[in-house]
Structure 1
């Protein structure tokens, strides 16, 4: 039942409410707290304390009961999550149980949902790439989708701001379509990668192979140590060596004395006051007791993830907004995007047999987009980039072999040949038909409707995928690799964990949900700065852009509060 304790209202009132504690929510809390606002951060997941609660991060694989493999019960309670590579016994407790919060699919969508403070900032891949002017102009130039209401120059100083604080290691390359940033020293490629880079760039002058730009420190920042090259990031890093809410933005917000963090708090909806013409607070369900409490604030930042934020907006029904908060023109939930991947090539090398490497570098390499740039014109719009990795094969190469005896064991104790793989990540266009809606026929554990997905990759993406594996194979062969094999595996929306676009930015309230400052057009004290706000997807990892947009919007929100415009 609703908490009707009238004395509780002043105690439950803050300057700002931040919904979600992941990558963008952490940034919203930090920026608003540091600017002097009293901030309530609401997170549906459980508390996860930095270092103390990373229970498997320093264990050897054999110290974990099933060596990382999932039990039958774990699979049963996560019927959707088992589709994805991110879920294992090592971090099983970090994820939401699908049985508690199911969703429905008209078309398959692989939705990956954490259940902890810090959200996916604990388990993310840490790729930190800027969008370029070309990406912000793409919709307007090719007529697919609506125009972004901002350009690269609007976001560039905020990219600088978040990169300097987060700590991004990388190599400047001078590419206009992949802008350089504020980098810590790059991680070093191994000998095989360095030679492959030389050969690819010599054969294809318009292409570049660079170390991946990643939110792993190569130099210490404050209490955060530089990366130890353990490559166990998805369990949580006790060294604070990669950017996460726990290691970075949350300590900064706590340090101000202005933050109140409330975990186990499921935000059900936003309260809209029709007389005031703005949002006044949120309704929150306690995860354990199911009691409903209202909290109030002058501004609200929605950072619950693209789909979590869209759920909250859709579920925020009033006589003013019968289709969901701010959804005057039915845009909310449409234009759902994710990157398509699982297409590329792999091969082996007979060279460098006398060379090895030290440690487990947590970053691969990157070949930025080269299709539909300059004079290159393809049958499809936009393009793709490649994530790549290399290593020497180990003892597991003998699993499929028939062998026995000491000589066979000696063979497996030596490293095998070098291997390399390239996998493309391609842009998905913003299609109106790709959408998420509320399904009232099914309820979650807390009595809320669930999301229903109707989303697919279409002909433009299918044509792009032909190049994604063919180009990868061609480059590896040109670099001298042998036994090169292109691959095409199924790729479904959600699988890349880069969902975005369902409450997009734009210039016209009839075709978008948010303005150039990430404000809901018709409820300007509500800001959405997670993936939901994206107007197009580009092909780069998007998290750095969410950080920059959030810091920019927080700065603007505080200025507007000072002007008494919100």
Structure 2
């Protein structure tokens, strides 16, 4: 794999021509590179961030807590006086993984309403820091828009994506347990991680008393690495729970640990870091072999700010949902005065994210677990699949939510607030685990609203001369109504399981904060109302594919990354087939 950090001086020529260009190196971009190279294409991957070497680049991965001056917490220091407010609303900006994230001072964005935009600044993108929760969608999700009339109908159904879910799961490695739920189809699982004794108790109580399922999280952590995964240098999970720092063992799925090594083995991949794609190039000639198609991309060098054009027969746009929207909005011409491919007028609209940071917690006392503990630091939690607005259950709001969470025993930190005791007695108490606690946090679906938008303010530009993104995205009445159940149901379940001191909480949620933002370049059945067809292909330029979150027509309530993977593998297979047929 050829990794380049600076642009070369030449503006044209064979070195600038490839079979395919992949914009972005995150979860979907990595899959696009793997699939296209393995199918015989010469691929250029463009990443705006810096290079990050797998294993050696994870500078904090093996550090102890006391190695961090502020114990890993976000901190405003005299050395960082001008950090913009949005970065410090983002929990990921801390000493452990802060260098992986983009400095908003270089390219500020505007918020009509509060919006947290998490932008990575490394090769591998958010695949290095993601939460790894991996859930299939079902027809409950793909049919939701058509069923209740919000948004437009997805052009695909579960049966279209099911074989591709299986395909990507076997390669990525998803640990989990089969539950046989129609609203949450089972995956191709590695052995499940274990729930601890309190979680098992609560799962049994919820099933018996409320007929609700609580299962172990379905996580892209290798509970047991396969020979194929080990051949790429990956190993089984070490139960350190330090994944956000980067995993030198390759124990969770990321671009750096999995898809890039696979693509590199083909010797058909070139990666350029520090390469900011500013726009898609389009052939406006009325005749010729490339008429009506994109010809390539324009790139700004992140260091020198020089521009260079690259050309390819196929372009996969995987810059992450909001960045993909911004690139298309900035790609204007006489053919596309309102953004590339925007014949429908829907570009940048119907932006969605999950709303969360709401739920309940409680203490387990008198349940017989005071002498029980758990082994290791499991990099996973539990999951309670959606049960609202399914079958006979009808609520005053549309769609639904699921829960993540877990049980644990509090540690020595609980003694910090105590004023009594010192010396040997205090030390002895510090060696004893505290009480068992269980917490649940809900993730709810947001409806697609036309006026939830990203636009560009061309009067204000960033460090590289690109226009400022403007977010006008809010949660509405349907989401507010849902949040009542999201808190109350959590408390009800914990109480039903026998926990005490149960309290609900609502720490509020703003779009972007869940890092599950999607939409703006949606798939559909009609070019008059959508940007992409059923194969993730732009209606208006058939050699451009969008398979990151921008392509979503709804957001469901499950984590979206597994669906990014499946959509990308499916689209790459279609694109290569069309190339062979000379349709692209």
Equivalents in 1 of 2:344, 2:399: separation in Å? 28
TM-score (norm 2): 0.95
* 2:422 alignment partner in structure 1: 405
Q: Paired residue for 2:435, among 398, 417, 422?
A: 417
- CA offset digits 1:474-504 (Å, max 9, x no partner): 0000001110001111100001000001100
Please state if 1:129 is matched with 2:135. yes
Equivalents in 2 of 1:5, 1:209: separation in Å? 58
**Over 3 Å off, 4+ runs:** 2-6, 73-76
- CA offset digits 1:5-33 (Å, max 9, x no partner): 56x32220000000000000000000000
Please state if 1:184 is matched with 2:190. yes
* 2:372 alignment partner in structure 1: 355
How many corresponding residue pairs?
Answer: 563
Equivalents in 1 of 2:415, 2:552: separation in Å? 46
* 2:352 alignment partner in structure 1: 337
Deviation at 1:506, TM superposition (A): 0.3
- CA offset digits 1:349-400 (Å, max 9, x no partner): 1131101111100000000000000100000000000001111001111222
Mapping for residues 316-335 of structure 1, pairs under 5 Å: 316-335=331-350
Mapping for residues 58-97 of structure 1, pairs under 5 Å: 58-69=62-73, 70-72=75-77, 73-74=79-80, 76-97=82-103
Q: Paired residue for 1:313, among 324, 328, 353?
A: 328
- CA offset digits 1:134-155 (Å, max 9, x no partner): 1101110111110000000000
* 2:521 alignment partner in structure 1: 503
More displaced stretch, 401-410 vs 226-235: 401-410
* 1:216 alignment partner in structure 2: 221
Q: Paired residue for 1:19, among 16, 19, 23?
A: 23
* 1:381 alignment partner in structure 2: 398
* 1:364 alignment partner in structure 2: 381
Please state if 1:282 is matched with 2:297. yes
Deviation at 1:65, TM superposition (A): 3.1
* 1:199 alignment partner in structure 2: 205
More displaced stretch, 67-76 vs 421-430: 67-76
Stretches of structure 2 that go unaligned for 5 or more consecutive residues are 1-6, 286-290
Q: 3-state DSSP class of the match of 2:97?
A: helix
- CA offset digits 1:399-439 (Å, max 9, x no partner): 22222313233223211100110000000000001001001
* 2:571 alignment partner in structure 1: 553
Equivalents in 2 of 1:440, 1:409: separation in Å? 61
* 2:147 alignment partner in structure 1: 141
Equivalents in 2 of 1:503, 1:330: separation in Å? 10
Equivalents in 2 of 1:414, 1:3: separation in Å? 61
Please state if 1:158 is matched with 2:158. no
* 1:530 alignment partner in structure 2: 548
RMSD over aligned Cα atoms? 1.2
Deviation at 1:78, TM superposition (A): 4.5
CA 462–75 in structure 1, closer or farther in 2 if over 3 Å, else same = farther
Contact 2:92/2:98 (8 A) holds in 1: no
Equivalents in 2 of 1:166, 1:188: separation in Å? 20
Contact 1:9/1:296 (8 A) holds in 2: no
TM-score (norm 1): 0.98
Q: 3-state DSSP class of the match of 2:455?
A: strand
- CA offset digits 1:498-552 (Å, max 9, x no partner): 0001100001111111000001110110000000000000000000000000000
Deviation at 1:3, TM superposition (A): 9.0
Contact 1:3/1:292 (8 A) holds in 2: no
Equivalents in 1 of 2:511, 2:300: separation in Å? 29
* 1:485 alignment partner in structure 2: 503
Deviation at 1:328, TM superposition (A): 1.4
Equivalents in 1 of 2:549, 2:80: separation in Å? 29
Equivalents in 2 of 1:227, 1:74: separation in Å? 35
Equivalents in 2 of 1:423, 1:216: separation in Å? 21
